Amino acid sequence: MAKKYRVAAQMYGFRDFIKDPDGMKSTLKRVKKMGYDYAQISGFGPIEASELKKICDDAGVEPIGAHIALKNFRENEKKVIADCHAYGIGYAAIPWLPSSEYKTPADWRKLFKEFDAYARRFAKEGIVVQYHNHAFEFEKFGIKNGKGGKTILDMLYDGTKDLQAEIDFGWVARGGYNPVLWAHKLKGRLDQVHLKDWGIVGGNPEFRAIGEGSLDWPAIIKACKASGTKDFIVEQDTCVVTKDPFRSYEISRRNLLDMGL
């Protein structure tokens, strides 16, 4: 029997529609109808964790992870853990870093230690801590006379042991790197991945539905499976072409079904 992989909708793409419980209810019903049985929690308004879990259950959409701001880890680690338990999830990703956090390699090394410490502590609670990349982590430090150097993302995973990756392949491509190579590089630390595609509009890169842009998804999916990925999470930051996140997520789901997910 072929292995079953979970395909989830990252709720950040619906952030304008999930500002209250009623918006979350109606949005999750539409997400379910599109063919997403799973969701990653993010971008919603003030909804208590237990209430949000009930809304998900009523819609038939299972939460499989959440994006949680670094400041929340720092300000109330116990609440982050309690919310994860209330959601019923085993993955918590640090989704973004303000530029004030990183100016030098020393700043990054300090962050690496902090992230790995969260990962160790949360593991005792049955929660995997991840880091979600953008493009800025592909900046290199240590270049000499125009040669060499090492990307921040390489430094991050070389400098941590317990932290997992939640690689966003759209941002890998935007950073100028090969998503397939990065999927192989992080074998064993890549339970969940973000799927995001790029096209060109007016000479500038813009987000596209999965399978409607430039990324080689069959090759990326194959590499992820070989690296131990369990969950494929669709994220549509903006929808320049469709002007409608529901349409973009629907196209993405249909295309992934055609690819065997």
Task: List the domains of the chain with CATH numbers.
Answer: 6-258 (3.20.20.150)
φ/ψ of residue 225, rounded to 5? -60, -40
Region of 189 on the Ramachandran plot (φ > 0 left; ψ -120 to 50 alpha; else beta) = alpha
Q: What is the distance between the alpha carbons of residues 255 and 216, in angstroms, rounded to a whole number?
A: 12
User: Would you call 161 helix, strand, or coil by DSSP?
Assistant: coil
The mean pLDDT of 175-189, rounded to a whole number, is 98
Inform me whether the pLDDT recorded for 191 exceeds 90: yes
Share of the chain above pLDDT 70, in %: 99
Band of residue 237 on the pLDDT scale cut at 50, 70, 90 = very high
Task: Identify the pLDDT of residue 201.
Answer: 87
Q: Do the Cβ atoms of 253 and 245 come closer than 8 Å?
A: no
Region of 38 on the Ramachandran plot (φ > 0 left; ψ -120 to 50 alpha; else beta) = beta
Inform me whether the pLDDT recorded for 2 exceeds 80: no
**What would the pLDDT profile of 92-111 be if each residue is shown by its tens digit?**
999 999 999 998 999 999 99
Q: What is the distance between the alpha carbons of residues 183 and 178, in angstroms, rounded to a whole number?
A: 9
Q: What is the distance between the alpha carbons of residues 38 and 166, in angstroms, rounded to a whole number?
A: 16
Q: What is the mean pLDDT of the chain?
A: 97
Q: pTM above 0.95? A: yes
The mean pLDDT of 8-34, rounded to a whole number, is 98
**What would the pLDDT profile of 120-142 be if each residue is shown by its tens digit?**
999 999 999 999 999 999 999 99
The mean pLDDT of 73-89, rounded to a whole number, is 98
Tokens of 71: 């400041």
Which ranges of 35-167 does DSSP label H, i.e. alpha helix?
49-59, 70-75, 77-87, 105-123, 152-158
Inform me whether the pLDDT recorded for 3 exceeds 80: no
